[in-house]
Structure 1
């Protein structure tokens, strides 16, 4: 056996599967117990899986929107019926509290329903205006499936986040090959196995498991698009690998999301939202609140309320714990460094502090007066740590919120200026007088800018992300003026120019 950088174990040689394939184990981060054993799929197996998905995808696309919706509805009902079983597996592989896993699956079900029932409206063939020049034609537009989509998923929301690609790609008519995180392979296998129960005919949705090399093999396997969610550093590597074969990518990376608290905000609601945005899922949320900028006149009261609410939160592995463990062991060192360097540079911990990091758990930490260039402000922490800094006014808050390479999500608490401030934030999604609410609206696109990536999942944009547009024109009758022929005559274009000047030149 040999350890990996993520703290997992690979079984080599004779102790592997019956066919000699290397295996690895998924581990409950709360207890260290083995949850399951999974194969390390190499390039040959990944390529074979994609080859098998190709005819399966063609069959799936040929079913049409209505039949795909019927099958996806059956899958949705199966997921609802076995929700607690699936939630227990998510808890085992991530360590998150059971209710958090259930909430994740509630959103999975809602998004799956939306994708299945809106795909035809968004993607189906429709007529579009032809304009003046092509008045004798009928023009149509439709969005056709790409074929096979590769999805590389994260561990923090191991069902909900990849399903933002999987459900929408399937609804659009594609086959999917999913490479789940090496920390949560069982979740990926459970999803694929449950789908196969309602679509047993062909391998429309399959899973390959392993580490970074398996993900790289998926990028090189000939899939028609790769949808990746993970760190910005890994996203760059995925893009570079996909560039070898000009495989298009959708990249959803990290964030350093800010919450702005205006002087007229409901401070109790703002403090409650800031706490949930920063601490839920033990802070392991790409759109979680990591920075709060609060205007000076209400800063003391806001901090007072936040401290009072945070003081009662407790991490642990028991069912009643508020926070689970830090799922990826290496992240503990990042969290510890951010807290230590902030305090060393003059910040104050009003909740928790240096001793809050007790692997695999981290108790809530609230830091105030942190320098803007400290790692706790400038880098993604991905733990239950939030920075609260005072600003003179909301204009300064917006400048600081936008002062990062990331641009994923954000939040604003303001009674009078919420919508105005939201539009000024360089972020793909913004919640006004709430946090994270955009995640739970299936009709809204989800994605960021800058170091947070590009492309969109969810909503109409998320469906189109996994298709190719096809424009078709059909001539209905001969035109009086036909310029697109060598037999057009010397006066045809002059007449067209005269017509255009009369129509559009005034």
Structure 2
């Protein structure tokens, strides 16, 4: 255990009142947790797919049976409405169940053709769990996001050591304890609490893979730390997610979904809408509808507002700087403005005609702001969408051209005539490209992410000609070349 005198407090972001105190795990304590997880890994792996499926399905059910207590805790530590916390927890429980049910089929041994030259061989590829997976989770979705790695890693046969955000440590401890209570397995899923240095210790602890969710800046530090130890990583970082609205879009639905995507969870959603490119032919109608919907949306404490506070205090000046920069550069303010920042809350801010080089368009704001810019064509919308260092998610609104537009976007995920829907579909991978990270969680790819392939080639019988021998003749060499020229991979 960490030194019991070394603790930190979790605060209610609305009132700043202390919720609870938590241990800061030092290097010794982190290494010990990883060692215990490694010791527990054999029993967890030997349980087999069916055994792990039974455990994980029960855990998913138990979380749903106790969803009120979990949701209240999430709301307390993040400030988000209880309803939003309940939606988050429900979706996370669904992912646990999906991973449990599909791990065996996803990891099934694959038989490969050995080719004519190696026709006497049986070629297979097996999938094995990597061992101990470290997970560093975020505070904005402290249940849904980390469980996207934890559940899939566990289903694949790994044990997990989880370091939650210092803003939501109680939620992290709740999740780990709920697994222990449900499964009666110790050290299979462990929570370690602390500040940034605890995360660093986890990266250096000898884990077999790390899954990180957070800012791009921190992700680069994490990746560099892990690289020094040859520890592979999955990085889910920030986004500057666009919405494209074509002239044939359902404007009412597009406006309603965009407002929710931009402002829900106080804009603290990596896949939330931050910039909109709307066909100039329908721009006025779209903006009118957005303003009509947004006028009744206000932040407040759980039970009072449509969304909660900015959970992390140091994000407040970043949001303020983005708003002020957009205004200084000539953006038109349609709703709110510089005075909308009233810590810990930020009221909705809507701009239009925002210069593309302003930080409100180039950097992740992570606040309840939205920039709406008119475009002449969808080609222009696609170009502006792709002209970003981020590439996480996107939304496209079009009745006839949605697939065509989506296929040209440099993003890991696209929702057509919906927003954020890809996060709720268990069977599809979640992740981005460019500065939004690499690797995937969710879906078959999310299970395979926490495994490694083992190739096994077995001689079923011996050929009369020995290719792998010092007795190989010139005639054998000639035959190899001749057959290779003839086949050119056709029977491989």
TM-score interval for Structure 1 and Structure 2 normalised by the shorter chain: over 0.9
Structure 2 match to 1:347: 331
| 1:316 lines up with 2:300 in the alignment | yes
Equivalent residues in 2 for 1:53-68, closer than 5 Å: 53-68=37-52
The aligned runs of 1:17-416 (5 Å cut-off) are 20-416=4-400
Offset at residue 141 of structure 1 (A): 1.2
8 Å CA contact 2:14–2:309 kept in 1: the answer is: yes
Find the aligned partners of 1:251 and 1:19 in 2 and give their Cα distance.
30
User: 8 Å contact 1:481–1:496 — kept in the other structure?
Assistant: no
Q: Deviations over 1:127-151 (max 9, x none)?
A: 2222222211111111101110110
How many Å apart are 1:35 and its aligned residue?
1.5
Q: How far, CA to CA, are the matches of 1:435 and 1:481 in structure 2?
A: 61
| Deviation (angstroms), 1:366 | 0.7
Kept after mapping to 1: 8 A contact 2:266/2:308: yes
Call closer, same or farther: CA 1:261–1:213 in 2, change over 3 Å.
same
- Is residue 487 of structure 2 the alignment partner of residue 496 of structure 1? no
- Compute the displacement of 1:320 (Å): 4.6
User: Shift in Å at residue 278 of structure 1?
Assistant: 0.6
Instruction: Report the secondary structure of 1:168's partner residue.
Output: helix
Give the TM-score normalised by structure 2.
0.97
> So what's the TM-score if we normalise by structure 1?
0.94
C-alpha change, 1:18 and 1:492, in structure 2 (3 Å) is: closer
Partner of 1:8: none
Matched positions, count? 490
Contact 2:80 2:302 in 1 (8 A): no
Structure 1 residue 497, shift from structure 2 partner: 2.9
Choose 69-78 or 485-494, whichever is displaced more. 485-494
- List runs of 5+ in structure 2 lacking aligned partners: none
RMSD: 1.5
**Pick aligned residue for 1:433 from 380, 405, 417:** 417
CA apart distance, 1:477: 1.1
Q: Deviations over 1:28-58 (max 9, x none)?
A: 1112222211001111100111111111112
Residue 487 of structure 1: how far off its partner (Å): 2.5
Cα distance in 2 for partners of 1:449, 1:89 equals 33
**1:495 partner SS:** helix
Q: Is the 8 A contact 1:145 1:466 kept in 2?
A: yes
**Residues 344-396 of structure 1: CA deviation (Å, up to 9, x unaligned):** 22112211112211111111111111111111111100011000011111111
Post-superposition shift, 1:505?
Answer: 9.4
